[in-house]
Amino acid sequence: MQSYDLAANGLRGLNSQLHALKAQGNMTAWEVVNPRGAHAIAAGVDVPVEITVRGSTGYYCAGMNKQATIRVAGSAGPGVAENMMSGTVIVEGDASQYAGATGRGGLLVIKGNASSRCGISMKGIEIVVHGSVGHMSAFMAQSGALVVCGDAGEALGDSLYEARLYVRGSVTSLGADCIEKEMRSEHLEQLAALLERGQCDPTIRPQDFRRYGSARRLYTFNIDNAGEY
Per-residue model confidence as pLDDT tens digits over 138-159: 999 999 999 999 999 999 999 9
pTM over 0.85: yes
- pLDDT grade, residue 47 (50/70/90)? very high
Residue 228 domain-assigned?
no
Is 224 a member of any domain? no
The answer on pLDDT for 181 being more than 80 is: yes
Q: Is 134 a domain residue?
A: yes
Looking at the structure of the chain, the number of domains it has is 1
Q: What one-letter code names the amino acid at 156?
A: L
pLDDT single digits (tens) 78-136: 999 999 999 999 999 999 999 999 999 999 999 999 999 999 999 999 999 999 999 99
List C-alpha distances in Å: 136 to 75, 76, 79, 86, 167: 21, 19, 15, 24, 14
163 domain residue, yes or no: yes
Helix (H, G, I), strand (E, B) or coil at 55: coil
Q: Strand, coil or helix: what is 178?
A: strand
- 111: which residues sit within 8 A by CB, 6+ positions away? 90, 91, 92, 93, 130, 131, 199
- Which is it for strands 210-214 and 164-167: parallel, antiparallel or unpaired? antiparallel
pLDDT of residue 25: 74
Q: Supply the pLDDT for residue 226.
A: 67
CATH number at residue 105: 2.160.20.60
pLDDT at 214: 95
Does 226 map to a domain? Answer: no
Q: Is residue 223 part of a domain?
A: no
**pLDDT for residue 229:** 58
What is the rounded radius of gyration, in angstroms, for the C-alpha atoms of the chain? 18
Domain housing 98 = 2-218
Q: Is residue 227 part of a domain?
A: no
50 found inside a domain: yes
